[in-house]
Each structure stands twice: as C-alpha cells, then as structure tokens.
Amino acid sequence: MTLARRIIPCLDIDGHRVVKGVNFAELRDAGDPAELAARYNSEGADELVVLDIAASRDRRPTFLETIRRVAAELAIPLTAGGGIRSVEDARAVLRAGADKITLNTAAVARPELISETSLEFGAQAVVLAIDAKRDGDQWMVMVRGGRDSENLNAIAWAKQGVALGAGEILATSMDRDGTKSGFDTALTAAISSAVSVPVIASGGAKVPEHFAEVFTAGRADAALAASIFHDRIQPIRELKEFLSSRGIVVRLPC
C-alpha cells in the first residue's frame, strides 16, 4: 500500500505573526498563526510547518509561545524550525509541541547537529531543510535564509544529511520560491532518487497542476506551499480532489 502524498501549508513566523515574502524578501503580514493552524487542521492539511524566519536568540521565547499556540489547534503533525543550533534548542521546540524539527544553516556549519538530534529524538523527528539554487547543471546550498551561498552541492548534502540521521528532506528551490511558476521538479526528483527518506518539495506552487507535476515527475512525497493557502487562492480539499482525479493517492475524505 502506498502512503498518501501530503499537502503541507507552511507558516513563516516573525514573532507572533505569519508573514510572507517574495524570494525571501519584502515581508508582509499574513495573519495569526493559531487561527491559520485551526483552519488548515479542519480543511484537510496533512501536516503543518512553522518556520521562525527571524531566528534570533532574543526572539526565541516568542517563537516557542507561537509553537504552543499552534500545536494546541492541531490534530495533525507539526514541524517547526528556524534558528535551531543545538540539541537543547531542538528539545525546547519539541517540548513546545512540535513533532519534528527542521535543521538548516546550523547543520551546514556543523553537520554533527544532525546526528546528535537524530540520536536524541529519532530520525523521524529530524528534517533537513535545504535551500537550493541552480548554478549551471547543479544545485548549490544557500544558508541564512537564502542570503548566502555555500560551496556545497545540494544533492550531496541531502545524501550526507540522511547518512547522518535526517529522517526527511525539505527541499526549497530558491529560484522558484515566491514566483508561483511551479515547483522545481528536476531538483526534487534528483534529491528523491538520491536518498532513501521522504522528500518535501517547496517553492513555486500556484495551481493544482504544479502539485500533480511534483508528485509525478518530481517524485516528491509531500508538497509545501504558503501564500496560495493563506490567501485562499487554492482550497486544500479541492486540490486533493484534483490530485485524486489524476490517480495520485491523497488522504480523502480529510
């Protein structure tokens, strides 16, 4: 039996609020995290991701409070990340109510963070988030919210992350993020065939056809999007019905 392909709304959090931006810039307010969480929980989202885009030390208590408020609304899994630098940071996020953490910049700087958190909380709790940007015929890893480039191949990094204990890869295309021109299916397909864990595709979604593409040609196990869900451009149930009509297994009724 196959697992249902997951539809995952993502809340980018700045303090107490959900924000949205284009290519990781030009932020604007997109609502209250707990209200959006409750809506997605009842509309059939399969999971929710919350990311602390500020990821600064002094704002940490605010983000943890947001996780608690969001978790209280959910009967589906919650993934939280942004600024996790240690096992203790991860523990605080999980204790606040998240089921999984995402690691990004700090794992690039110190890959052992992946094995440390995986040993402590299990591989199923550790998602390696990779922000990838196309460079010629390959994808390179970007860090610090997509601002800086690392001399690191995204596919090789995904493989290394899984070898170190990551249980899932969240692959964001920096080229597509915010553009609404469709997922980078070549990127997700390349990662999906390189690793043995589930891959979440992110960046560029607008229409149901984009999701169908990323689940077929892109070989993604889950697809993540933000503004099309926040702005009610794309109702989740309708999206799932479309995917189901294309023969893609999704959780319905949800």
Partner 1 sequence: MKITLLDYGAGNVASVERALERLGAETKRATSPECISNADALLLPGVGHFEALIRVLDARTLRAPLCEAIHRGVPFLGICLGLQALYEASNEAPELTGLQLLPGRVCALPPVAKLPHMGWNRLVIKSRSLLLENIDAEAYFYFAHSYAAIEQGQETVAVCDYGTEFVAILEKENVCAVQFHPEKSGEAGAEVLRNFLRLCK
Phi, psi of 153 (to 5 degrees): -75, 130
Residue 231 Cβ, how far from partner 1 at the closest point, in Å?
24
Residue 8 interacts with partner 1 (CB under 8 A): yes or no: no
Shortest Å, Cβ 24 to partner 1: 27
How far is residue 194's CA from residue 148's CA, in Å, rounded to a whole number? 24
Q: Give the total residue count for the chain.
A: 254
Quick check: 248 and 212 in contact, CB under 8 A? Answer: yes
Structure tokens at 16: 């107490």
CA distances (Å), origin 96, targets 28, 68, 73, 235: 26, 5, 13, 29
List binders of partner 1 among 127-166 (CB under 8 A).
none
Number of residues that bind partner 1 (CB under 8 A): 32
Alpha helices in 122-206 (DSSP H): 154-164, 185-194
**In this structure, are residues 48 and 11 in contact, taking their beta carbons and an 8 Å threshold?**
yes
Is 148 annotated as catalytic?
Answer: no
CB of 221 to partner 1, least distance (A): 7
Q: How many whole angstroms separate alpha carbon 40 and alpha carbon 182?
A: 22
Beta-ladder partners of 225: 9
Residues 60-99, one symbol each (x = binds partner 1 by CB under 8 A, - = not), give -----------xx-xxxx----------------xx-xxx
Is 40 one of the binding residues for partner 1 (CB under 8 A)?
A: no
Q: Per the residue annotation, which of 131, 177, 184, 221 is the catalytic one?
A: 131
Binding partner 1 by CB under 8 A: which of 203, 221, 226, 243? 221
Residue 131 known to be catalytic: yes
Stretch that binds partner 1, among 104-112, 120-128, 139-147, 209-217 (CB under 8 A): 120-128
Residues in touch with partner 1 (CB under 8 A): 1, 3-4, 6, 41, 46, 71-72, 74-77, 94-95, 97-99, 119, 121-125, 167-168, 196-198, 221-222, 251, 254
